[in-house]
Amino acid sequence: MAVLAMADEQRFRALVDDLSDVDLEDFLARLLAYEDNIAPAAVLPGCTVLLELYPRLRTQSRGFLDLGPEFAVDRVVLRLLRRIGDEAERTRITQQLCGTITGFTGRIRLLWLVGRRSNPDAERLIPLAESDLLYQQVCNQIRHATSAQLVAERDPLLLLTEALADDPADRQDVDQLLLDDSAATALLLSAANQVHSQTLGTAAIRSQPFLDWPALRTVTGDDAVLAAMVERVAAARAVDVEAMAVVELARKYLAGWRPADSPFSRPDPVIRQAHNSPGTIFSPSVIGGGWPALLIRTVTTYEVDPAWASQADISGAEFHRRLTEFLGGIPLADRICALADACSLPTDASAWGPDPDSQQSVGSAVQRLNVGPESEPAAVLRYAVFLPGNHGAMKLITDIAVSPRETTDAKWGKLGLGELRDALDVALDAVAGPAVDQLVGSIYGGEMPPRSTTELYLEAGHGQGGTDRTSTLHDLIDLDPLGARARADQPALQGVFAVDGDAPTVTTQDRRDLIIHALIRMALGWGYLDAKAALLPLGSPEPAS
């Protein structure tokens, strides 16, 4: 009966509405048995009804082997879409569904099903460029949604995490949304879950509550905002047993506690907004009067006590001596010289010393090293220490200007992904490695301010710095291993990535994990939706010698 009704949206909707929420999952499972009897004409009306069912699904887990109730809807929708043999027709149906379904969850999961998620083994049901465009549209709508819209969704935290990952800078409306008690409560409740564990040889199954803390921190954008949100929920829902249980768990997280059996043994880093791109601060165009073919930048920012900042002074020969000693003790210059040598470029590097083209003052110290002759350098390295002024944060910046002048572009050719990873590693080590604490501590009398962000940038010379340079990241980095590109008509010009300062960076493996995560996010932005398969192996530990 349901199969026959599916071609008529109103009739199928009435039939599904008559089912209890308890019977819904069983109904969806039985519907699969009649897949071959469903006419292609029933796909659009059927999917329209099914994709609106997510809010009705159970929220409790059924244990170890439970794939989640969402899977029950997903697989029926996927089977229905596969009934349409023509890609153009599937694309039209997907576009229409995205235009008519009111719920964000249904649209996001539909686009995952048709191939928007980065998975080389997934079947692409519509063209990559189209799924990418539709995904950006729904993410934009989520970032600007009302409280009522998000509270009605099954998992508002997941939706906002996905939407902010698409554009971390577009969060003004999200920040306002966090001030709404209903939205704050819904976000906190959707972060709560249970992890199940069982000791080998026993029948007992233990359940441990946990919070998706990385997602909460990404959406709130600041631990102080998150703490205030938790207390606001506590005040608004003081008699709500479920809400107060999550509030108490969140308070424990804020105090530093973490569950031993948390599934986030190595969680994704908490995404932050990037503020120190080459186009906004410390421009590389002063190097030789133009923009390099490729600029690799890493930045760390620190929250400095105003009392410390007022006493700090990094002017004069003594600090520059310490800075030169620090830079000579890390592998930054050696690694870039090795890359240049592999391209048969000159590697007679100069010594680190104060950059003659940068202002040296009480609050800024900049050093520079040329790889190759000054008249035609293969690369120029700069390292900057900027103290906070009346406001703002302390900054450490590493810049690697690859091919500052066009005369060496052809010799550099294209960096491999492994070479790019290694260059980012030494640049990140210079601002966030284990030796940095001693440098920063020396500025503040042994005190170490907390790191607020870690940022990574890739910038091509295309049209930058008032020049007519035309190089893109595709010209400078071998991106072919990342697979097909969804937006072939839009060249990759920059990559931007920023995370919370507590992302680990002490060991090489810590930095590699962060770099690979950054490159995957950048590559998705460039349209390489299958990038994860090529990039994840680059984060693997080096084999033992």
pLDDT in tens, the chain (545 residues): 788 889 899 999 999 999 888 888 888 888 888 888 888 999 999 999 999 998 888 866 555 444 567 888 888 999 899 999 999 999 999 999 999 999 999 999 999 888 765 444 456 788 878 888 899 999 999 999 999 999 999 999 999 998 988 888 889 999 999 999 999 999 999 998 865 444 444 444 456 688 888 889 889 988 889 999 999 999 999 999 999 999 999 999 888 887 765 544 456 678 888 889 988 888 888 776 678 999 999 999 998 887 777 788 898 899 999 999 999 999 999 999 999 999 999 988 889 999 998 889 989 999 999 999 988 999 999 999 999 875 578 999 999 999 998 889 899 999 999 999 999 999 999 999 989 988 998 888 878 889 999 999 999 988 776 667 788 999 999 999 998 887 777 888 999 999 989 898 988 888 998 999 999 999 988 988 888 888 988 886 654 44
- How many residues in the chain? 545
Q: Please, are residues 139 and 169 in contact by the beta-carbon 8 Å criterion? A: no
Q: What distances in angstroms separate CA 322 from CA 319, 400, 443, 444, one per listed residue?
A: 5, 21, 10, 14
Amino acid, single-letter form, for residue 158: L
Percent helix, strand and coil across the chain, each to the nearest 5: 50, 15, 40
Tokens of 19: 């089912």
Among 118, 115, 113, 111, residue whose Cα is nearest residue 139: 111
Concatenated DSSP letters for 374-432?
Answer: TTS-SEEEEEEEE---SSS-EEEEEEEEE-SSGGGHHHH--B-HHHHHHHHHHHHHHHH
The pTM (predicted TM-score) of the whole model is 0.65
